[in-house]
Structure 1
Amino acid sequence: MRVTELNIYPLKSARGISLPDSAVSAEGLPGDRRAMLVDPSGHFITQRELPAIATVLARHEDGGMLLSRDQHGEIVARPSGERMDVAVWKSIVSANMADAVTNDTLSAWLGREVKLAFFDNASKRIASLEWTGDETPVTFADGYQILVTTTASLAALNDNMRENGEDDVGMERFRPNIVLETDEPWAEDGW
């Protein structure tokens, strides 16, 4: 078994960034899913609902985030200091919101009214106690700090999909932080 990919997704549901190496903190890989888009009421928006988010590239820059989209240019978004309670799945999180100019630009890019929420040091979120058994911190990730996928399991999934007349899916569809090259499918179920 060996690590073949390390990725972070600074903006939830946006394009990922490949890393040569990374530290790991209690909240996962530094910089991962530290921002997300929400609707005007504060409910999170993902690719499932707005596929165009996948075309946005986000990079951390000087206390903010450099956001770009092909054919639309780029903007630097910074937390404004205005806080808003935002919802990500069953969690309500106090987030530091971007300014109106950033939100208007992103809304124009995506064709829908959105607001950019930052997870900062004042933001707190705990992973589901049902699965962790203790108060495990997590940012705007769907459930846990780090998503690990394996090559053998993806190959087995794609074999099954082909047998059922479906097209293969790529590893990027799962938005993993760590991809492990493995020989045995589903070995991770016993880890």
Structure 2
Amino acid sequence: MPILSEIYVYPVKSLAGIRVAHWPVDHKGLLYDRKWMLIDSDRQFLSQRRLPKMALIKTCIADQQLILSAPNQADLALPLQALDGDDIEVVVWHDRCIAKTCGDNADAWLSDFLQTDCRLVYQTDDDIRKVDPNYALDSDQTSFSDGFPFLIVSENSLNALNQAMPLAIDMIRFRPNLVVADCDSYAEDTWRRLTINDIGFRLPKPCSRCSVPTIDPLTAETGKEPLTTLNRLRKWQNKVYFGQNALHDKPGSLSVGQTVLIDEIGEPQPPLSPP
């Protein structure tokens, strides 16, 4: 029986995530997941695709604060529930959202470490960012994720990929939210509906991968893997795929070790045979 083996929360889009044993789920996904985001002078979101050094900024949630840490920098602490900040329109891919600024100190701290002008913003609880209606219900929401509130990957998918590569990489390269153990490699390609702790999940779309998995999260150096191997094994319609995007039906909580009930399966997405 598949089980939930790892949970990851990414408070700030494209910064390092937090591995947790249990975590609340609200209507937008894991609580605080991608609630904050860096933007450039054009108010476009920033990510490791453009600034690999973002991988070196660690995040922590403690004492009702978001704490950012980076090499040779004093920690930056921000309130989880900020009551001020200016409204600002920001762009996440094709979506325009209203966010709030986090203040000059946060902007200076991040700009100094990344050596580029940037600002930190957060999504208020009242702001609604809907998921692509081609794959979601009208009620589905997300925060500043690329498009979906959850990314699900199985442990054995990574094991199979590592066996096919000249090096072994860690799951964190793929930035999943939920990792599932005790199932076949790429079993998640066939999952359409599943339940964990009475929360229903829909898996409408496989996750196409960009260059971020090639960035070593410990050094921010970029290599060729795993994209070279994914291009050989997991390519479809000129994109490579690893993991499944997911939507959830209601709030609740998740804990490592919980059973993953596979409620519905279908043809593999993408339509690839397991290597």
Return the TM-score normalized by structure 2. Answer: 0.63
Q: Which runs of 5+ in 2 are unaligned?
A: 192-275
More strand per residue: 2
Partner of 1:186: 186
Could you say what secondary structure the match of 1:53 adopts?
A: helix
- Give aligned pairs, total: 187
Q: Which runs of 5+ in 1 are unaligned?
A: none
Could you say what secondary structure the match of 2:101 adopts?
A: strand
Partner of 1:48: 49
Spell out, residue by residue over 1:79-110, the C-alpha distance to the aligned partner (whole angstroms, 9 max, x if none).
54201111111111100111122201210011
**C-alpha distance in 2 between matches for 1:112 and 1:145:** 28
Farther-moved stretch of structure 1 (69-78 vs 144-153): 69-78
Deviation at 1:155, TM superposition (A): 2.0
Partner of 2:78: 77
> Are 2:20 and 1:19 aligned?
yes
**C-alpha distance in 1 between matches for 2:36 and 2:157:** 29
Question: Which of 88, 95, 102 is residue 98 of structure 1 equivalent to?
Answer: 102
Could you say what secondary structure the match of 1:24 adopts?
A: strand
Deviation at 1:9, TM superposition (A): 0.7
Deviation at 1:142, TM superposition (A): 1.1
Taking a change above 3 Å as real, the CA distance of residues 121 and 133 of structure 1, as seen in their structure-2 partners, is closer
Could you say what secondary structure the match of 1:153 adopts?
A: helix
The 5 Å alignment of 1:58-69 reads: 58-60=59-61, 65-69=66-70
Taking a change above 3 Å as real, the CA distance of residues 108 and 54 of structure 1, as seen in their structure-2 partners, is same
Partner of 1:3: 4
More helix per residue: 1
> Are 2:153 and 1:149 aligned?
yes
**Contact kept? 1:149, 1:180, Cα under 8 Å:** yes
Question: Which of 131, 134, 137 is residue 138 of structure 2 equivalent to?
Answer: 134
Could you say what secondary structure the match of 1:140 adopts?
A: coil
Q: Give the aligned residue type for 1:34.
A: K
Give the structure with higher Rg (CA). 2
**Contact kept? 1:129, 1:135, Cα under 8 Å:** no
Identity across aligned pairs (percent)?
29
